[in-house]
């Protein structure tokens, strides 16, 4: 730096003025450049088959998100969070996109990109404890339900005692130990969940409670909401090729 100052000091005054002006202009241009955008991250809930707990890029949710964002030319990273934290991330903008059951509360902080399928929500119970149950039989029973899910909201009208779970796996362990009368398991995924927990499907009954749509939400606070072209490409991918891709994923993981 000292040598540079000595070298410029030897130049004529008009040259030094010109060099100083160029330096100021270069600094101004650098300051005007946009800051590098933070990478977009979508957090999915680690519930098989929607997301493999130990492989956040495998499962229905991350694979459909990756497919749609790739087709739209939008770079995204994928990771997992517990259910409630994934919802809160969607609210804050930390979570750019999520695959969820829609409801009015979520519509306040995120926009529905499109519907990509349905989820059949129900409960699992032991055959040796109960014969064939109907939803009305769950009144007074202790039923495990993951925190934050809307999948079994119908149970509230049946007067079941809802036990908050941290995960589907916790519910299966408690069911096996007879600490729950029944626990939440969805389809697709019920057979796979049993197999992963080391349980035999022939020892359990599954009772369907509700069938609900599944949509892709985009956070209102996501930078994507300011990019109309990217949102249009995402919607086009979602409503066309995305439907076929989703059907294939559901079939694969059933």
Angle (deg, nearest 10), helices 241-253 and 60-72: 160
pLDDT value for 196 = 72
Averaged pLDDT, 34-54: 75
| 119-212 has the same fold as 41-117+214-253 | yes
**pLDDT over threshold 90, residue 134:** yes
Parallel, antiparallel or unpaired: strands 142-146 and 182-187: parallel
Of 201, 50, 195, give the one whose Cα is nearest residue 124. Answer: 201
pLDDT value for 197 = 73
Residue extents of the structural domains in the chain: 41-117+214-253, 119-212
Render pLDDT for 94-123 as a digit per residue (tens, 0 to 9). 999 999 989 999 999 999 999 888 888 899
CATH class of the 41-117+214-253 domain in this structure = alpha beta
pLDDT value for 146 = 86
pLDDT value for 110 = 97
User: 7 or 121: whose pLDDT is higher?
Assistant: 121
**pLDDT over threshold 80, residue 38:** no
Task: Give the distance, in angstroms, between the CA of residue 18 and the centroid of all CA atoms in the same chain.
Answer: 55
Average pLDDT, the chain: 83
CATH class of the 119-212 domain in this structure = alpha beta
CA atoms of 111 and 217, how far apart (whole Å): 5
**pLDDT over threshold 50, residue 10:** yes
pLDDT value for 147 = 84
Render pLDDT for 160-187 as a digit per residue (tens, 0 to 9). 899 999 888 899 999 999 999 999 988 7
Of 188, 160, 152, give the one whose Cα is nearest residue 47. Answer: 188
Averaged pLDDT, 202-224: 91
Averaged pLDDT, 228-237: 93
């Amino acid at each position: 730096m000292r040598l540079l100052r000595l070298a410029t000091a030897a130049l004529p005054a008009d040259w030094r003025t010109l060099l100083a002006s160029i330096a100021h202009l270069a600094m101004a241009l650098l300051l005007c450049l946009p800051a590098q955008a933070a990478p977009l991250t979508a957090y999915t809930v680690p519930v098989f088959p929607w997301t493999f707990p130990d492989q956040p890029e495998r499962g229905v949710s991350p694979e459909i998100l990756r497919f749609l964002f790739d087709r739209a030319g939008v770079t995204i990273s994928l990771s997992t969070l517990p259910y409630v934290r994934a919802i809160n991330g969607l609210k804050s903008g930390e979570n750019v996109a999520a695959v969820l059951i829609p409801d009015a509360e979520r519509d306040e902080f995120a926009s529905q990109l499109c519907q990509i399928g349905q989820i059949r929500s129900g409960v699992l119970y032991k055959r040796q404890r109960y014969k064939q149950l109907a939803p009305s039989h769950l009144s007074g029973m202790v039923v495990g339900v993951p925190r934050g899910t809307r999948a079994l909201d119908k149970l509230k009208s049946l007067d079941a005692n809802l036990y908050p779970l941290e995960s589907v796996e916790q519910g299966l362990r408690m069911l096996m130990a007879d600490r729950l009368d029944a626990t939440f398991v969805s389809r697709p995924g019920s057979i796979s969940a049993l197999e992963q927990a080391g349980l035999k499907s022939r020892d359990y009954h599954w009772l369907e409670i509700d069938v609900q749509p599944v949509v892709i939400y985009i956070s209102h606070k996501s930078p994507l909401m300011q990019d109309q072209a990217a949102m249009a490409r995402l919607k086009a991918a979602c409503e066309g090729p995305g439907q076929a891709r989703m059907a294939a994923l559901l079939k694969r993981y059933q």
